[in-house]
Chains A and B, each alone.
Chain A
Amino acid sequence: MSDENEKMRVGFTLNGEAIEAEIVPSERLLDTLRYTLGLTGSKEGCGEGECGACTVYLDGLPVNSCLVPTFQARGRRVETIESIPPESLGAMLASGATQCGACTPGVVMTACWLRRHPELLKSHTAREIMAGNLCRCTGYDGIIDGLRDAMSGKGAE
């Protein structure tokens, strides 16, 4: 059994800023973000990489932060929901992309990633790409419609 107090320091870039965090070796990136660094936008829905509520970008790629040990972020770029500019979310607000909001930060992270990589829609549907983010409220139409509107420049951007 590892000692609770055995800590290590890890440095990475968080939302564009170099930071260092003191962690226990087994710590999940999600917990470091939420409980150590106070960035509670990323949510825990399942803790096993199924629901996507904890989605963040690691070196620009969306990952489930509940499945990433924090030490693996060492020297890398981490971006969280806190880095997303609110003014970019008008179309999703208008389309009803959020209801209870618990899945929403993860949904927004995947949606914004798709918006940065529209070429993916040549090989995949938006519904396929969003399938890693479970939502229990909207039935997904509000999300897909908002994403489509945002990508076509429609909505209160």
Chain B
Amino acid sequence: MNRLEGLSKLTGRERYIDDLRVDGCLWGMTVRSPSPRGRLREVRFGKSIDWSKFVVVDHRDIPGPNEVYLIERDQPVLAAEYVRHVHEPVVLVAHESREMCRRAVAAVEVIVDDEPAALDFRLPPTPEQVQYGADNVMKRLKIEKGDVERSLASAAHVVEGVYETGAQEHVYIENQGMLAWVEDGVVIVKGSMQCPYYVLNALKHALGRDERGVRVIQSPTGGGFGGKEDYPSNLALHAALLAMKARRPVKIIYDRSEDMASTTKRHPSRVRHRTGFDRSGRMIAQDIDVLMDAGAYVTLSPVVLSRGIIHGAGPYSCENVRIVGRAVLTNAVPFGAFRGFGAPQTQFAVERHMDVCAKALGMDPIELRRINLIRDGQTTATGQVINDGTDRVAILDRAAEMIDLRGKRAEHESFNATHPHLRRGVGIVCIYHGAGFTGSGEVMLKSRLKVAGLADGRVEVLSSSTEMGQGTTTLFTKLAADRLGLEHADVLVPEPDTLRAPNSGPTVASRTAMVVGLLVERACDDLRAKVGLAESARGAAVKTALVAWHHAHPPVGAELFGEAEYVKPPGISWDQDNYKGDAYGTFAWAAYAAEVEIDLRTYATRVTDFVAVQEIGRVLHETMARGQIQGGVVQAIGWALMEECKWEKGAMKNCQLTNYIIPTSDDVPPIRVEFLENPYAHGAQGAKGIGELPMDGPGPAIVNAVAAALGVAPCEIPITPERLMEMCEVAHVG
């Protein structure tokens, strides 16, 4: 089965939001704050512009509360009296000509009485920089198991380390874009997004309307990676406000520079580890402190921090663990969701730290991991008992075998001793990723999905799960077709439209195939039952029954639905107050290995081989699953080696693809992927989530390989040539 919309994309016929021609449509554009923090004194509209030709919107045009509805409501739709970051939206303009919009935006001056901004999350704020509580810490979380201090005191070895990761820009190739119009009194928004119901809730709240007054339609979405999880709510509100005032359709399409400058990125992090081992190398205590930069508003940071700390101890068994997490508000452009959602940061730290520990203990890093990898019957940091029958040591050994760890090490030793300027190394890591919302998140979401039985015998899957390249349309088609014994052509999966699609939750957290996919199967079962068929009915019997139902239920157009709502898998329990219990229904497990070559003339690091071995329940679609892993690995290679946000007043200075560098085809090797299968009872066809897993491993695998090649101990990514040169000069390498 090929990707269903694949040919449409290959031939350029797929119509993204910027491809839609809309009669009478205006372009919208945004005037932004020049200051990272301060009181908004005045907005001056330049005299060079005939403002009567423009639609202009500011905070006074917002019918409801001036709040972007999310976890907290601290972020205004448009700044009213105060700004908290550079590029914060203040005024919106619309005009028929995009060029005139650009000129108008340039002619508006936003005057801010600057106040001291907090721009380095690692430093405690000065009293003048405090903007939240006593220290700008917006969220504190703690996981505690056993007695860490006592165990550290009795440990044969204690190894410490500090690890830092930088921000990362999503670089979905389709920039953010949204179209809004008003039709029969209903505000309709259509655009590039991951989560139609997040957008719907944001519109309802700030526009002061109920669900009958707003409607959200997802257009084909050119990549998301988390970057279109929360920000589209802001953009949808902007487009809607302009359209309501203009009484005409309005489209806002960011260009690359505006998109990179003003939308969210991966949270920068600093993680401290203090780890106690006994004489045999068994880990007896893990003391972990996680600090994340939330940026200027809360957005999704509390949940990012939560996932981060839950994955912070790595896939190991340890009886005494303390993980403290803090997310701190600064005056940087808000950080938000990005593939992995905090887990790549904390797993970079723990997996890099494992190699640092191995070196301190005089052990082989692979042996140290083998000893400590979690076995069935043992518990994670939150006390979740792992008992899934997966052999995690075998995964590690398979990755080592595929990359030929022993052979490569020996080969590199002689190569590095003789080559004038090239150095080679290999690194290996173990990672895990919990799929679906954390803790009771899925229970609270109460995701719903419908499968409509149509009069011609076909079925239609109605959900809010979006296709953004990861394959939702194809997978849902396959799941429904398999369940009902239908041809793929008999299954329709329309783009989500909140008018028809129930809320299946957001398209995030590696939850679509596993969690929502299961709802597809259960809604198919419900549909079959509704037309009086036995569970074994398949194919022609189903089609005939659907046609007959419609025949028996005039008028024509009567709707027949199979429905499903999320049901918590049995035996799962989570204590949100104490961070104890089953953090996730299941975890995907993996071991990743990287081989690198560093050129000491340029300090450029090149990944020359990469192996990704993972157990993901069941592979639903081989090509798409492999594509998820390969794409995620390459995105993480970028984060590890070259993608660096340069900051000025808390905003990205290098907001262009000319100087924010992502990997090209020539920067990466073929990514060698192997899947191991161990079906998960509560995922569609046994699947576990895989979308985020590949983001977790490459960073530490590459840095471990660089450390092996050079004998230095980098603890920060990206390891750009500049950073590596500095480190090598200090260590007199080369």
Choose one: B6, B11, B173, B623; the contact of A45 (CB below 8 Å): B173
Chain B proximity of A37: nearest CB distance (Å): 11
Write the nearest CB–CB distance from B260 to chain A, whole angstroms. Answer: 10
* A99 lies within 8 A of B666 (CB): no
Q: Does A127 contact B (CB under 8 A)?
A: yes
A13 within 8 A of B: no
Q: Would you call A142 and B623 a contact (CB within 8 A)?
A: yes
Q: A105 vs B658: C-alpha distance in the bound complex, in angstroms?
A: 21
Which A residues lie within 8 Å of B213 (CB)?
none
Contact with A along B221-243 (1 / 0, CB 8 A): 11111000000000000000000
Q: Are B19 and A34 in contact (CB under 8 A)?
A: yes
- Chain B binder among A48-56, A69-77, A115-123: A48-56
| Alpha-carbon distance A41/B19, docked complex (angstroms) | 8
Cα-based distance from A51 to B662 in the complex (angstroms): 10
**Is B21 at the interface (CB under 8 A from chain A)?**
yes
Whether A100 contacts B468 in the complex (CB less than 8 A), given A135-B173, A141-B630, comes out as yes
Query: Quick check: A137 and B657 within 8 Å, CB to CB?
Result: no
Contact code string B19-63 (vs A, CB < 8 Å = 1, else 0): 101000000000000000000000000000000000000000000
Interface residues in B465-480 by Cβ distance below 8 A to A read 468-471
B7 at the interface (CB under 8 A from A): yes
Contact residues in A for B634 (Cβ distance below 8 Å) = 139-140
Q: Is B551 located at the chain interface by the 8 A CB criterion? A: no
Instruction: With a 10 A CB-CB cut-off, give which of B3, B12, B470, B471 has the most chain A CB atoms.
Output: B12
The closest CB in chain A to the CB of B16 belongs to: A102
Say yes or no: is B566 at the interface (Cβ < 8 Å to chain A).
no
A56 to B169, CA, bound (A): 27
Q: How far is it, in angstroms, between the C-alpha of A137 and the C-alpha of B14 when the chains are bound? A: 17
Check A99–B664 contact: CB distance below 8 A.
no
User: Closest B-chain residue to A110, C-beta based?
Assistant: B665
- Contacts known (A48-B657, A94-B2); A42 close to B12, Cβ less than 8 A: yes
Verify B631–A136 contact, CB threshold 8 A. Answer: yes
Please give the distance in Å from B47's CB to the nearest CB on chain A: 14
Q: Of A44, A89, A144, which is within 8 A of B11 by CB? A: A89
User: Closest A-chain residue to B103, C-beta based?
Assistant: A1
Given A4-B97, A48-B657, A100-B174, does the pair A108, B10 have CB atoms closer than 8 Å? yes
Residue of A nearest to B637 (CB): A139
Q: List residues of chain B with CB within 8 A of the CB of A4.
A: 97, 99-100
- A94 touches which of B221, B623, B630, B631 (Cβ 8 Å): B623
- Pick from A103, A127, A135, A140 the residue with the most CB of B within 10 Å: A140
Residue of A nearest to B253 (CB): A44
A101 contacts the other chain (CB 8 A): yes
Q: Provide the residues of chain B in CB contact with A98, threshold 8 Å.
A: 3, 6, 9-10, 469
B5 with A134: CB separation less than 8 A: no
B665, A104: Cβ atoms closer than 8 Å = no
Q: Which residues of A contact B656 (CB under 8 A)?
A: 46, 48, 50
* Complex contact B173–A144 (CB within 8 A): no
How long is the Cα–Cα vector from A31 to B624 in the complex, in angstroms?
A: 33
Known A-B contacts A41-B13, A42-B12; A139 and B668 likewise in contact (beta carbons under 8 Å): yes
Determine if A84 and B11 form an interchain contact, defined as CB atoms under 8 angstroms apart. yes
Least distance between B410 CB and chain A CB atoms (Å): 28
Binary CB contact string for chain B from 70 to 110 against chain A (1 if under 8 A, 0 otherwise): 00000000000000000000000000010110000000000
Q: Which residue on chain A has the smallest CB distance to residue B171? A: A136
Q: Which of A42, A44, A99, A133 contacts B627 (CB 8 A)?
A: A99
Residues of A close to B255: CB separation below 8 A: 44, 47
Asked if B412 lies at the interface with its beta carbon under 8 angstroms from chain A, I say no
Give Cα A80–Cα B13 distance, bound, in whole angstroms: 12
- Pick the contact of A141 from B175, B224, B635, B670 — CB < 8 Å? B670
A50, A81, A108: residue with the most chain B Cβ atoms closer than 10 Å: A50
Count of B interface residues, CB-CB < 8 Å: 61
Whether B468 pairs with A93 at a CB distance below 8 angstroms is no
Chain A residues within 8 Å of B623, by CB: 94-96, 142
Contact B665–A131 (Cβ < 8 Å): yes
Q: Determine whether the beta carbon of A137 is less than 8 Å from that of B223.
A: yes
Smallest CB-CB separation from A98: which chain B residue? B9
- In the bound complex, CA of A41 to CA of B18 (Å): 11
State the majority secondary structure of interface residues on B: loop
Q: Which residues of B contact A50 (CB under 8 A)?
A: 656-658
Q: Which residue in chain A gives the minimum CB-CB distance to B21? A: A38
Residue of B nearest to A126 (CB): B665
A93, B6: Cβ atoms closer than 8 Å:
yes
> Are A48 and B16 neighbours in the complex by a CB distance under 8 Å?
no
Cα of A20 to Cα of B657 in the assembled complex, Å:
33
CA A91 – CA B58 in complex, angstroms?
51
Q: Report whether B10 and A104 are in contact in the complex, using a CB–CB cutoff of 8 Å.
A: yes
Are A104 and B9 interface neighbours, CB within 8 A? Answer: yes
Contacting pair B7 A99 (CB below 8 A): no
Contact with A along B619-639 (1 / 0, CB 8 A): 000011011011111110000
Which A residues touch B172, using CB under 8 A? 100, 102, 136
B323 to chain A, nearest CB (A): 31
A139, B627: Cβ atoms closer than 8 Å: yes
Most buried by B among A44, A95, A102, A144: A102
Contact A40 B662 (CB under 8 A): no
A102–B173 touching, CB < 8 Å: yes
A147 CA to B468 CA in the complex, in Å? Answer: 23
Q: Hey, which chain A residues are within 8 Å of B223, CB to CB?
A: 99-100, 102, 136-137
Set of chain A residues within 8 Å of B220, measured between Cβ atoms: 101
Chain A CB count within 10 A is highest, among B469, B631, B632, B665, for B665
Q: Which residues of B contact A101 (CB under 8 A)?
A: 5, 8-10, 14, 220, 222, 469
Known contacts A41-B11, A127-B666, A136-B223; A102/B256 CB under 8 A:
no
Query: Residue of A at shortest CB range from B9?
Result: A101
Any B CB within 8 A of the CB of A78: no
Contact status A143-B10, CB under 8 Å: no
The list of the 3 closest CB pairs from A to B, nearest first, reads A41-B12, A100-B469, A102-B222
A-B contact pairs, 19 of them (CB 8 A): A4-B100, A40-B16, A84-B11, A93-B6, A98-B10, A100-B468, A101-B9, A101-B469, A102-B16, A104-B10, A127-B665, A131-B666, A135-B173, A135-B631, A136-B170, A139-B630, A141-B627, A141-B671, A142-B630
Question: Besides A86-B10, A99-B627, A136-B170, 12 other CB < 8 A contacts?
Answer: A4-B97, A44-B255, A50-B657, A82-B12, A94-B2, A98-B469, A99-B631, A100-B173, A105-B11, A131-B665, A134-B664, A141-B670
Chain A interfacial positions (CB closer than 8 Å to B): 4, 34, 38, 40-48, 50-51, 53, 80-82, 84, 86, 89, 92-105, 108, 125-128, 130-144
- Interface residues, chain B, with chain A CB atoms under 8 Å away: 2-3, 5-16, 18-19, 21, 97, 99-100, 170-175, 220-225, 255-257, 468-471, 623-624, 626-627, 629-635, 656-658, 662, 664-668, 670-671
